[in-house]
Structure 1
């Protein structure tokens, strides 16, 4: 199993942030199925003000390239992503059109304790 952490900023508007949170309380089944199909075993999203942090635990099947292909093949996922852009904004330094950006791990207590 591998773990990835990603960050994303929401548009800093309390009404939009509330709506975005509500969308994530009722994620479409097709979106959930695609997440699992891509090799994601668990996904959590945390919010601080308008900044989001996603933690993904993945199987050996997962790659970002594979997930992109699977997502592109699903009309429902594409529809979901289009709706989500209403609430999201690009992170500083992100590539054009890139939403979630991969974070670098700089500390691990478990790694320190295993040496």
Structure 2
């Protein structure tokens, strides 16, 4: 069985886009949900504090980078990510259009 990898990350949200972003996430496109699940991502949540978004998920698989890259090649996911990029803004230290991965400081099972 693959080891569970916990991932936390942040990205900014344009102030004028809060309502639209939340609306999209109430009805995430089915193909995007299937791609996320198919890549071994479980227990995925996004939280908002003002205009800062925090995401958390657990990865269960053997090829984290490859599985994430496969999501990024799917046409529906490309369209979704392009749309979300119009609503989000990078935080300091992140690559453009990317969430910034955070180091885990504490975990309790």
Query: Do the structures match in fold with TM over 0.5?
Result: yes
User: What's the TM-score once normalised by structure 2's chain length?
Assistant: 0.87
Q: Assess, with a 3 A threshold, how the Cα gap between structure 1 residues 82 and 20 changes in structure 2: closer, same or farther.
A: same
User: What's the TM-score once normalised by structure 1's chain length?
Assistant: 0.83
Aligned to 2:98: 99
Post-superposition offset of 1:62: 5.1
Contact 2:89-2:97 within 8 A present in 1 as well: no
Q: Which runs of 5+ in 2 are unaligned?
A: none
Distance in 2 between the 1:18 and 1:81 partners? 17
Aligned to 1:67: 67
| Equivalences, count | 106
Instruction: Tell me the SS of whatever aligns to 1:5.
Output: strand
CA RMSD in angstroms comes to 1.6
Contact 2:88-2:97 within 8 A present in 1 as well: no
Contact 2:12-2:53 within 8 A present in 1 as well: yes
Q: Which is richer in strand? A: 2
Q: Find the structure with the greater CA-based Rg.
A: 1
Q: Which runs of 5+ in 1 are unaligned?
A: none
